[in-house]
Amino acid sequence: MNIDKDLVAAMASPLVLTILAEGGSYGYAILKRVRELSGGELEWTDGMLYPLLHRLERLGHIRAEWGSSPEGRKRKNYQITESGLAQLAEQQRQWQTATRALGALWGSGPSGNGTGTMKLAGA
Amino acid sequence: MSSMDVLETQIDQWRAAVTRSRAVDAADVEELEGHLREQVADLELTGLDQEEAFLVAVKRLGAVDSVTAEFAREHGDRLWKQLVLVGESGRRGRPLIAMLVFAVVAAAGIQVARLAGGDQPWFVRDLALFVLPVLAAYFVWLRKPPRRRVIALAAIVVALAVLANVFPFRPDAQTGLLVAIHLPVALWFVVGVAYLGRDRMSSSRRMDFVRFTGEWAIYYVLIALGGGVLMGLTSLVLAPIVSSAVYEQVFLWAIPSGAAAAVIVAAWLVEAKKSVIENIAPVLTAIFTPLFAVMLVAAVIGYLVAGIGHPFNRELLIAFDALLIVVLALVLYGISARDSLKPVGLTDALRLVAMIAAIVLDLVVLGSMLARIGDYGFTPNRVAALAVNVILLVDLAGTAWITGRALAGRVSVVAIDRWQTGYLPVFAAWSVVSVAVLPLVFWFA
The reported pLDDT for the residue numbered A66 is 86
Does residue B276 register a pLDDT over 90? Answer: no
Q: For residue range A74-85, what is the model confidence (pLDDT) as tens digits? A: 888 999 998 899
Integer Cα distance of A51 and B74 in angstroms: 6
Burial tier of A46 (Cβ tally within 10 Å: 0-12, 13-18, 19+): buried
Does residue B90 register a pLDDT over 50? Answer: no
Domain presence at residue A23: yes
The reported pLDDT for the residue numbered B202 is 74
Q: What is the mean pLDDT of residues B331-354?
A: 76
Q: For residue range B310-333, what is the model confidence (pLDDT) as tens digits? A: 555 667 777 888 888 888 888 887
How many beta carbons lie within 10 A of that of residue B204, not counting itself? 15
pLDDT band at B376 (very low <50, low <70, confident <90, very high): low
Does residue B84 register a pLDDT over 50? Answer: no
Q: What is the mean pLDDT of residues B373-383?
A: 73
The reported pLDDT for the residue numbered B294 is 92
The reported pLDDT for the residue numbered B309 is 60
Domain presence at residue A115: no
pLDDT band at B261 (very low <50, low <70, confident <90, very high): very high
Å from B421 to nearest chain A CA?
17
Shortest CB distance from A51 goes to which of B60, B61, B73? B73
Does residue B221 register a pLDDT over 90? Answer: yes
Does residue B47 register a pLDDT over 80? Answer: yes
The reported pLDDT for the residue numbered B163 is 83
Integer Cα distance of B393 and B327 in angstroms: 11
Integer Cα distance of A11 and A19 in angstroms: 12
> Is the distance from CB of B20 to CB of B82 less than 8 angstroms?
no
Integer Cα distance of B66 and A10 in angstroms: 18
- Torsion of Cα atoms, B147 then B148 then B151 then B152, to 10°: -140
Domain presence at residue A112: no
Residues 6+ apart with CB under 8 A from B395: B328, B420, B423, B426
With a pLDDT cut of 70, the percent of chain B lying above it is 86
The reported pLDDT for the residue numbered A118 is 45
CB contact under 8 A, B34 and A28: yes
Does residue B249 register a pLDDT over 50? Answer: yes
Query: What percentage of chain B's residues is helix, strand, coil (to nearest 5)?
Result: 80, 0, 20
Domain presence at residue A110: no
The reported pLDDT for the residue numbered A59 is 86
Domain presence at residue A122: no
Domain presence at residue A21: yes
- Residue B359's SS3 state is helix
Shortest CB distance from A46 goes to which of B27, B60, B73? B60
Burial tier of A1 (Cβ tally within 10 Å: 0-12, 13-18, 19+): exposed
Integer Cα distance of B212 and B202 in angstroms: 15
Q: Residue B307's Cα: distance from chain center in Å?
A: 36
The reported pLDDT for the residue numbered B2 is 62
CATH number, domain of A81, equals 1.10.10.10
The reported pLDDT for the residue numbered A94 is 93
Domain presence at residue A119: no
The better pLDDT of the pair B272, A12 is held by A12
Q: With contacts defined as CB-CB under 8 Å, which chain A residues touch B8?
A: none
The better pLDDT of the pair B145, B225 is held by B225
Integer Cα distance of A112 and A105 in angstroms: 8
Chain B residue with minimum CA distance to A70: B38
Q: With contacts defined as CB-CB under 8 Å, which chain B residues touch A64?
A: 341
| Residue ranges making up the domain that contains A78 | 5-105
Q: What is the mean pLDDT of residues A97-119?
A: 67
Does residue B397 register a pLDDT over 90? Answer: yes
Shortest CB distance from B35 goes to which of A27, A51, A57? A27
**DSSP secondary structure letter of residue A72:** S
- For chain B, the average pLDDT equals 81
pLDDT band at B91 (very low <50, low <70, confident <90, very high): very low
Does residue B120 register a pLDDT over 90? Answer: no
Does residue A123 register a pLDDT over 60? Answer: no
> Is the distance from CB of B61 to CB of B36 less than 8 angstroms?
yes
The reported pLDDT for the residue numbered B83 is 36
The reported pLDDT for the residue numbered A93 is 93
Q: For residue range B149-201, what is the model confidence (pLDDT) as tens digits? A: 889 989 999 988 888 888 777 777 777 888 888 889 999 999 998 888 776 67
> Is the distance from CB of B69 to CB of A62 less than 8 angstroms?
no
The reported pLDDT for the residue numbered B6 is 77
> Is the distance from CB of A21 to CB of A85 less than 8 angstroms?
yes
Does residue A113 register a pLDDT over 60? Answer: no
The reported pLDDT for the residue numbered A122 is 42
CB contact under 8 A, B34 and A74: yes
Domain presence at residue A117: no
The reported pLDDT for the residue numbered B339 is 63
Query: What is the ipTM score, two decimals?
Result: 0.77
Instruction: Show the CA angle centred on residue A34, arms to residues A30 and A40, nearest 5°.
Output: 140
The reported pLDDT for the residue numbered A116 is 42
CB contact under 8 A, A75 and B341: no
The structural domain count of chain A equals 1
